[in-house]
Structure 1
Amino acid sequence: MTRVAVLGAAGYTGGELLRMLLAHPGVEVVQATSDQFAGKRLDYPHPNLRGMSSLRFVPHDALEPCDLLVSCMPQGGLINRWARVRELAGRVIDLSADFRLAPAAHERWYKKHPRPAGVPGFVYALPEWTASELPEARYVAVPGCMAHASLLGILPLVRAGLVKPELVVDAKTGSSGGGATPDRASHHPERASALRCYKPVGHRHTGEIENVVERLTGTRPSVHFSATAIPSVRGILATVHGFTTRPLDEAEPLRAIAMAYREKPFVRLIRPNTSASPFPEPGPLQGTNYCDLSVDVDPERNRIVVNVALDNLMKGAAGTAVHAMNLMLGRSETEGLGFRGLHPI
């Protein structure tokens, strides 16, 4: 059994991670940290975990050695503890933005949280595209949730040379993406019926998408990214607009995406006329590690539109952490991730 500790386990992604790890046949959760809930049982902030464990939270500074550490700390949380953490865990998976980007890109987009000198490179955990890098990885960074959805739609088109290196992404996200600590904008009376664009330009996921696309395809795109808040707790719907390099029909981009994900267990392509709901939606994906996507072509305007849906707390965070962990440990990549979702919801 691999001994796993979860740093910052009281938030939403921490709760989802504990839900999966406590039922995982290959790991033992040995510690879960929270300064706020130190001494409390795991089900105190996570009522869905009642009866699953007698483990209690410990303060962050009480972290002990383990085989693998998963950090659910907010941005800056792991960077500020890195010197100590690297001595306690042979392998680390980070769900924050601390280690997703190459150093130069990180410096540009995350000036408030500079990366300390001497920190080793982290493998970017986009399992459908970087699975071969994960078995040997000691340090792994999970993508940002909206960047993750966007990349799954963009990468097959760029790799196949079907779109120009200029892309437009409109990402819609539920309120849980803001974390468990509310602010004025995310407080329920303010957010419950909100439908507003909260970051039309300058979102940090812009740099993440550009950086990863260039690294994985050799093409440096210009990404125009906007984020919109929707009246939902969970879920992301990213709509990617790409402009074609030549006239083409729907079959070619459909084939490119189908080929990219034909052996990937968590990405599902919704083909035309095969579902009563022909476009992806986050609802049926809640609690799952699945991503649904569709592709449409506007031949008159030389435009490809890819819609990508996933659960931001699962496929966009904790689910991908477990997926990456499975690959790091040489286990089946689907282990502990078989929940298929609910309908209706």
Structure 2
Amino acid sequence: MTRIAVLGAGGYAGGEVLRLLLAHPAVELVQATSEQHAGKRLDFPHPHLRGQSTLRFSPHDALEPCDVLVTCMPSGELIRRWPQVSPRAGRIIDLSADFRLEAAEHARWYPRAPRSVELPRFVYGLPEWTRDTLQGARYVAVPGCMAHAALLALLPLARAGLVRPEVVVDAKTGSSGGGATADRSSHHPERASALRCYRPVGHRHTGEIESATEHLAGMRPIVHFSATAVPSVRGVLATVHAFAARPLEDAAEPLRVLATTYREHPFVHLLRANASASPFPEPAPLAGTNHCELAVDVDAERGRIVVNAALDNLVKGAAGTAIHALNLMLGRPETEGLGFRGLHPL
């Protein structure tokens, strides 16, 4: 059994990592850390873990050696703790933004937490696009949740040369994307009925989408990214507006590109018109799952290709992709421990 510890397991993403690890048949959860909950049982902040484990949280500085460490700390914390943390784990999967970008680009988007070029490079943990590199990897950086959805929609079109290198991404997200620590804007009375664009420009996922598209599809686009808060707890819905780089063979060409790209990938599903009573992606049926749903439509008159991508920000957008990457790193079946398929109605 692979011995796994979770650093910073008191938050929402950490709780989902714990849930998935406790049900995984090939791993043993040996430690979980939280400064706020040190000494308390895992189910103290995570009621969905009741009866699942007798483990108690440890302080961060009490981290013990393990085979794999999953880190769920706020951005900047793994960089700061690297000298103490890295010797204690053979492999590390990080859910923060600390290692998603090259050092120079990271400094541009995260100036308060610059990363030394001497620190190791992490594999970008987008399994549908970096599956081969993840196999046997030592260090993995899980993508940001909204960037993740946008990239699954955009990358096939970019790699196929179907779209111009300038796209618009409108991402909607639930309140859990803001984490477990409330501020004025995320406090329930302020957030419960909110439908507001909270970051029209300058969101950090802009740079992540641009960088990942360049590295994985060979085209660096200009990305116009906006993030909108919606009155839900879980979920991301990213709408990608791209513009055809050439005349399309027909209106179904983008659909064929997406279908071919994800045919062998078990966690991405392409919805087709008239094949379902709900032919457009929405996050609710995906809550708790490691699945992403896509749908594409084409405005042939204007050459606009619109792809919608929905996922659960805490699972496919965080914890589930960490486990997916873990499976590939360990040579396990990639769907192992990720079988939950969602609920409806919810």
Please give the TM-score of this superposition, normalised by the length of structure 2: 0.99
Question: Could you give the per-residue CA deviations for residues 241-299 of structure 1, whole angstroms, max 9, x where no partner exists?
Answer: 00001232321100000000000000000011101001000000000000001000000
**Alignment-derived partner of residue 241 in structure 2:** 241
Q: Kindly tell me the number of residue pairs found equivalent between the two proteins.
A: 345
Q: Distance in 2 between matches of 1:330 and 1:87?
A: 23
1:86 aligns with 2:86: yes
Which residue is equivalent to 1:264?
A: 265
Aligned equivalents of 2:219, 2:288: Cα separation in 1: 34
The equivalent of 1:8 in structure 2 is 8
Deviations 1:149-206 (A, max 9, x none): 0000000000111110000000000000000000000000000000000000010000
| Structure 2 partner of 1:113 | 113
**Partner SS for 1:164:** coil
- 2:280 matched residue in structure 1: 279
Whichever residue aligns with residue 240 of structure 1, its letter is V
Deviation at 1:85, TM superposition (A): 1.0
Gaps of 5+ in 2: none
Preserved CA contact (<8 Å) 1:98 1:115: yes
Question: Are the counterparts in 1 of residues 150 and 309 from structure 2 also a CA contact under 8 Å?
Answer: yes
Give 3-state SS (helix, strand or coil) of 1:78's partner: helix
Q: Which amino acid aligns with 2:16?
A: E
What's the counterpart of residue 22 of structure 1? 22
Q: CA separation in 2, counterparts of 1:295 and 1:165?
A: 18
| Separation in structure 1 between the aligned mates of residue 35 and residue 165 of structure 2, nearest angstrom | 45
* Structure 1 equivalent of residue 256 of structure 2: 255
Runs of 4+ with deviation above 6 angstroms: none
Pair 1:173 & 2:173 matched: yes
Measure how far apart 1:217 and its partner are: 1.6
| Alignment RMSD (CA, Å) | 0.6
Task: Report the more deviating stretch, 245-254 or 49-58.
Answer: 245-254
Moved more, 107-116 or 259-268: 107-116
User: What secondary structure sits across from 1:21 in the alignment?
Assistant: helix
Deviations 1:32-65 (A, max 9, x none): 0001101000000001100000000000000000
Q: How high is the TM-score relative to the length of structure 1? A: 0.99
Find the aligned partners of 2:211 and 2:190 in 1 and give their Cα distance.
34
SS across alignment from 1:319: helix
Whether 2:49 is the aligned partner of 1:49: answer yes
Instruction: Check the 8 A contact 2:136/2:328 in 1, yes or no.
Output: no
Q: Aligned partners of 2:258, 2:301: CA distance in 1, in Å?
A: 21
How many Å separate the matches in 1 of 2:175 and 2:57?
A: 25
In structure 1, runs of 5+ residues without a counterpart are: none
Give % identity.
75
Give 1:116 shift. Answer: 2.8
Shift of 1:117: 4.3
- Contact 1:247–1:299 at 8 Å: present in 2 too? no
**Bigger mean CA deviation after superposition, 245-254 or 142-151:** 245-254
- What secondary structure sits across from 2:317 in the alignment? helix
Paired AA for residue 177 in structure 1: G
Tell me if 1:323 matches 2:324. Answer: yes
Paired with 1:136 and 1:40, the residues of 2 have a C-alpha distance of 34
Residue number in structure 2 paired with 1:104: 104
| 2-structure distance, mates of 1:219, 1:10 | 38
Secondary structure of the 1:225 match is strand
Question: Which residue of structure 1 lines up, in the alignment, with residue 297 of structure 2?
Answer: 296
Alignment of 1:301-316 (within 5 A): 301-316=302-317
**For residues 158 and 117 of structure 1, do their structure 2 counterparts lie closer, same or farther at Cα, with a shift above 3 Å needed?**
closer
| C-alpha contact 1:171 1:238 (8 A) present in aligned 2 | yes
CA distance in 2 between partners of 1:85 and 1:14 (Å): 17
SS at match of 1:79: helix
